[in-house]
Chain A
Amino acid sequence: MAKAATAPTTSRRIKLLGKHPIGIPFVAPYVAFLIVVFAYPLGLALYMSFHDYFFAAPGAIVERPFIGVDNYTQVLGDPVFRTALFNVVKFVIINVPLTVALALVLATALNRAIPFRTFFRASYYVPYVTASVAVVGIWLWLFAGDGLVNTILGPLAPDPPWLVNEAWALPIIALLVTWKQLGFYVLLYLAALQNVPNELYEAAKVDGAGAVRSFFAVTVPGVRSATTLVVILATIVGANFFTEPYLLTGGGGPNNASISPVLMMYREGIEQGNAGYAAAIGVILAIGVMTISLLNRYVLERD
């Protein structure tokens, strides 16, 4: 694509500041915010992960020795952490494809001239805004041993019931999160659909494409940058799930079947005072998600 030069600039200045130096003041306030608010906690988190660290009172004389990568080797050797990591993988495998597919199909349907469009859009958005406490209360009730779901299933109901069943606890949480977040991703896709030029659909129609073919030929490629966004955000949400096992399965139960790395961080770092260990979990998790996100971006955004 031929980008028109904005103004005659010396190549030297371009080399030093880039083609649009105006971008620097544009991002400056954001960068200042990042530095003022996050550089220190982030740096401290890294520092902590290499020490036998805990949070001490100001002025307290305490020993927090440097222990190299001990925290990391311990975390990686911790069977609970492996379970937690594997749970993230399972979670993402269930949650991300389901989210992308459902959100895009729903958004496409909601973008059509259908009656009660406002009503429909609002209803898909409702779980997203409802406080977790209320949502979790409802799921507990739905998936209890004598809950609505089992009543409907009758003899097909799993035993032990869903939330205390090691095979089902995590998938239920993944579904809950998919359901709760879906409205937001539908909105993202709806927004993206507004920018897909209509003549592409016209052209597809002229070529004799039906609704399904034009969905795959026009809609899917048309919202690609939104798909990158959805995949990355859903992966991040998946890697950070915490409230649901904390509230819904009584702290990652049954028997750690639904434990998540962030729940481990909460237990280790905040409940048990092993801040260094928790920080190492966080760093490993962040590196993993970063890798996946960059990979996603590379795959989804390449031309």
Chain B
Amino acid sequence: MKARLRLVALGTALLALAAACGGDEAVDTEEAAQATGPIDIWYSDNPEEITWGKQAVEAWNADHPDEEVTGEKIPAGETSEEVIGAAIAAGNTPCLVFNTAPAAVPQFEKQGGLVALDDFPGAAEYIEGRSGDVAEQYKSPDGNYYQMPWKANPVMIFYNKKVFEKAGLDSENPPLATYDEFLQTAQTVIDKGGVEAAIWPAPSSEFFQSWFDYYPLFIAATDGQTALVEDGQAQFTSAEGIAVAEDFWAPMYEQGLAKRETYNGDAFADEKSAMAIVGPWAIAVYGEAIEWGVAPVPTADGISPEQTYTFSDEKSIGMYSACENRGTAWGFLKFATSKANDGKLLELTGQMPLRPDLTSTYADYFKKNPEYEVFADQAERTVEVPVVPNSIEMWQEFRDAYSSSVIFGKESPDEALTTAGKTIESLISEE
């Protein structure tokens, strides 16, 4: 006992010692905003984006020998936010990360890890000029942009044409518009289509899973007018929000049309499920192997596809405060989001740069790749995750309530979501 007390004392003494010598100075923001010189950046780690990143870095370096950019793929995966979070604390983030999740931005901002892009003259104009009205969604509560909205993967319903045909359904215009139609179709493909599940979103408890089951339908149900929360109020407790849970997803799980088990792999690619909710990045994956069709996410009354909103699954570019040569970083950021480089991004990855009028701006591309056009069109009508304090905690809270009520039917979705709404309102009002 005494020995342990002494140990604690020793530890505390050492802590004080370490804390005393751990005072690094911050970068002088005004000076840094002007500074130019070599910088490091991270881009995402999928092969398509690596290709894009490499060519952008090469092109820049050819013209800027004194401001060399070194690109590295992000140490990645489900844990990329953790890596960035830890690197912020250690002060060794690169200047730019071309894979910053908007949901993590409030946390990085709180850590003091992000540079407000408004430090650079004309930044807000540049961002809004490029992305139009959607840019507003990426502003932090203090009115600054701590992220540059970059590219979206608007999610839609992919379906397997072969399975639909086998089930005797119209594979060009399958009945998927309303909740009732969708449930009916789901039942049919299970009965006759030879699949285990009609649709198989991950039923697991990670905070981000709701982005690919509940949230797109919620956005469609509210005509894109609101995010999960708005002005400190939970929006998912509205009649439309509850209906998505009660009238759509809960029956899906209850009737066994969606599975409560995690699939080890990609259920749609392995033809275990007839449908999937994904964005255009998946075309490259499913393209050859599966004959797929695409439909907008369903709504209660089946509003027309031209009016259906969805979740953007967007990734931003963040500039991190460990960056010294911020002048160069800002220059490269603008370079990488230029019209030409956005075109390259589209061409190499099939993901949608966050620009209005994609189809007219890159008309040639869409003529050659017509299957992407529907996503370009959908990209005009997207909603983001809200930029609020404790954003990830909020999503986890939501996921837990959703999981126990909708997926596992332990309580009524109405009650569970209403309770979660109260908790979430107090979470996002904390600072």
The answer to whether B400 touches A256 (Cβ under 8 A) is: yes
Closest-CB distance, A44 to chain B (whole angstroms):
6
- B112 near A56 with CB under 8 A, answer yes
Docked complex: A19-72 residues within 8 A CB-CB of B: 35, 39-40, 42-44, 46-47, 54-62
Contact B82 A253 (CB under 8 A): no
Residues of A within 8 A of B89 (CB): 55-58
- Which residues of chain A come closer than 8 Å to B259, judged between CB atoms? 145
Q: Does A254 contact B (CB under 8 A)?
A: yes
Across-interface contacts of B204 in A (CB, < 8 A): 249-251, 253
Kindly state whether residue A74 has any CB partner on chain B within 8 Å: no
**In contact, A55 and B111 (Cβ under 8 angstroms):** yes
Determine whether A178 belongs to the interface, using a CB cutoff of 8 Å to chain B: no
Tally inter-chain residue pairs, CB-CB below 8 A: 134
0/1 string, B78-113, CB within 8 A of A gives 1: 000110011011110000000000000001001111
- In the complex, chain B residues whose CB is within 8 Å of the CB of A141: 264
Contact B15 A47 (CB under 8 A): yes
**In this assembly, does A160 line the interface, its C-beta being within 8 Å of a C-beta of chain B?**
yes
A222 at the interface (CB under 8 A from B): no
Contact of A271 among B10, B81, B196, B260 (CB under 8 A): B81
Decide if B322 is an interface residue (CB 8 Å cutoff): yes
Q: Select one of A40, A163, A252, A273 contacting B261, CB under 8 A.
A: A163
Q: Any chain B CB within 8 A of the CB of A151? A: no
Residues in A whose Cβ lies below 8 Å from that of B403: 253-255
For B4-41 the 0/1 string (1 means CB < 8 A from A) is 00001011101100100000111100000000000000
Measured between beta carbons, the chain A residues less than 8 angstroms from B85 are 55, 270, 273
A164 located at the interface, meaning its Cβ lies under 8 Å from any Cβ of chain B in the complex = yes
Nearest neighbor of A259 in chain B, beta-carbon distance: B205
With a cutoff of 8 Å between Cβ atoms, the chain B residues found around residue A274 in the complex are 393
Q: Are A59 and B111 in contact, CB atoms less than 8 angstroms apart?
A: no
What is the distance, in angstroms, from A158's C-beta to the closest C-beta of chain B? 13
Closest to A271 in B: B392
Which size class do B's interface residues fall under? 35 or more
Say whether, besides A39-B10, A160-B260, A254-B260, A60 and B202 are in contact (CB < 8 Å). Answer: no
A164 CA to B11 CA in the complex, in Å? 43
B418 on the interface (CB 8 Å rule)? no
Given the known interface contacts A54-B110, A255-B403, the answer about A140 and B26 at a Cβ–Cβ threshold of 8 Å is: no
- In the assembled complex, the Cα of A46 lies from the Cα of B16 at a distance in Å of 12
Q: Is A218 an interface residue (CB 8 A)?
A: no
Residue A288 CB within 8 A of the other chain: no
Does B321 reach chain A (CB closer than 8 Å)?
A: yes
Q: Report the minimal beta-carbon distance from A222 to chain B, rounded to whole angstroms.
A: 30
Residue among A166, A250, A267 with max Cβ neighbours from chain B (10 Å): A250
- Known interface pairs A40-B15, A56-B112; A250-B82 also in contact (CB < 8 Å): no
The residue that B24 contacts in the complex, of A47, A59, A163, A272, with Cβ under 8 A, is A59
Q: Tell me the bound Cα distance from A140 to B408 in angstroms.
A: 19
Asked whether, in the complex, the Cβ of B261 is within 8 Å of the Cβ of A164, the reply is: yes
Q: In whole angstroms, what is the CA distance A296 to B301 when docked?
A: 64
- From A46, A56, A249, residue with most partner B Cβ within 10 Å: A56
The answer, yes or no, to whether B316 is at the interface (CB within 8 Å) is: no
B10 contacts A61, C-beta separation under 8 Å: no
Contact present for A46 and B26 (CB under 8 Å) = no
Give the residue of A43, A146, A271 whose beta carbon is less than 8 angstroms from that of B15. A43
Contact of B392 among A56, A61, A272 (CB under 8 A): A272
The interface bits of chain A over 143-176 (1 if a CB of B lies within 8 angstroms of the residue's CB, else 0) are 0111000000000000011011010000000000
Whether a CB of chain B sits under 8 angstroms from the CB of A197 is: no
Write out the residue numbers on chain B whose beta carbons fall within 8 Å of the beta carbon of A58.
24-26, 89-91, 322
> Which residue on chain A has the smallest CB distance to residue B202?
A250
Is A137 an interface residue, CB under 8 A from the partner? yes
Query: Given A55-B86, A57-B88, A273-B107, are A250 and B11 also a contact pair (CB < 8 Å)?
Result: no
Q: How far is the CA of A271 from the CA of B196 in the complex (A)?
A: 33
* CB proximity of B420 to chain A, nearest CB, Å: 13
Tell me whether B262 is interfacial, beta carbon within 8 Å: yes
Given contacts A58-B91, A60-B26, contact A46 B12 (CB under 8 A): yes
Q: Could you tell me the distance in whole angstroms from the C-beta of B25 to the nearest C-beta in chain A?
A: 5
Of residues 236 through 293 on chain A, the ones whose CB sits less than 8 Å from some CB of chain B are 249-256, 267, 270-274
Taking the closest CB of chain B, its distance from the CB of A33, in whole angstroms, is: 13
Q: Which residues of chain A (215-234) have a CB below 8 Å from chain B?
A: none
Establish whether residues B261 and A144, one from each chain, have CB atoms under 8 Å apart when the complex forms.
Answer: yes
Which residues from chain B contact A272 at a C-beta distance below 8 Å? 107, 207, 390, 392-393, 396
Taking CB atoms, residues of chain A closer than 8 Å to B25 are: 58-59
B203 within 8 A of A: yes
Assess the B410–A255 pair: CB atoms within 8 A.
Answer: yes
A59 nearest in chain B by CB position: B26
> For the complex, what is the distance from the CA of A250 to the CA of B322, rounded to whole Å?
34
A132 to chain B, nearest CB (A): 13
A254 to B82, CA, bound (A): 24
Q: Report the nearest B residue to A263, measured CB to CB.
A: B205
Q: Smallest Cβ distance from A118 to chain B, in angstroms?
A: 34
Closest to B12 in A: A43
With A59-B25, A140-B262, A140-B264 in contact, is A253–B110 under 8 Å at CB?
no
Bound state CA distance, A54 and B392, in angstroms? Answer: 14
Using CB atoms, name the residue of chain A closest to B8.
Answer: A46
Are A56 and B111 in contact (CB-based, < 8 A)? yes
- Contact indicator A43/B205 (Cβ below 8 Å): no
CB–CB A163/B393 < 8 A: no
| C-alpha gap A166/B410 in the complex (Å) | 11
Chain B 240-262 against A: per-residue CB contact (8 Å), 1 yes, 0 no?
A: 00000000000000000001111
Please name the residue on chain A nearest to B260 by beta carbon.
Answer: A164
B137 within 8 A of A: no
Contacts A43-B12, A44-B15, A271-B396 given: A60-B111 contact, CB under 8 Å? yes
Closest 3 CB pairs of A and B: A250-B204, A60-B112, A59-B26
Can you list 15 A-B contacts with CB-CB less than 8 angstroms, sorted by A residue number?
Answer: A43-B14, A43-B18, A46-B11, A46-B12, A54-B110, A55-B86, A57-B26, A58-B322, A61-B26, A163-B261, A251-B204, A254-B407, A255-B404, A267-B207, A270-B82
Where the two chains meet, the residues of A that have a C-beta atom closer than 8 Å to any C-beta of B are 35, 39-40, 42-44, 46-47, 54-62, 80, 137, 140-141, 144-146, 160-161, 163-164, 166, 249-256, 267, 270-274
- 13 A-B pairs besides A43-B15, A62-B112, A251-B204 with CB distance below 8 A are A35-B10, A42-B11, A55-B88, A56-B89, A60-B26, A60-B321, A80-B400, A146-B196, A164-B260, A252-B205, A253-B403, A271-B396, A273-B392
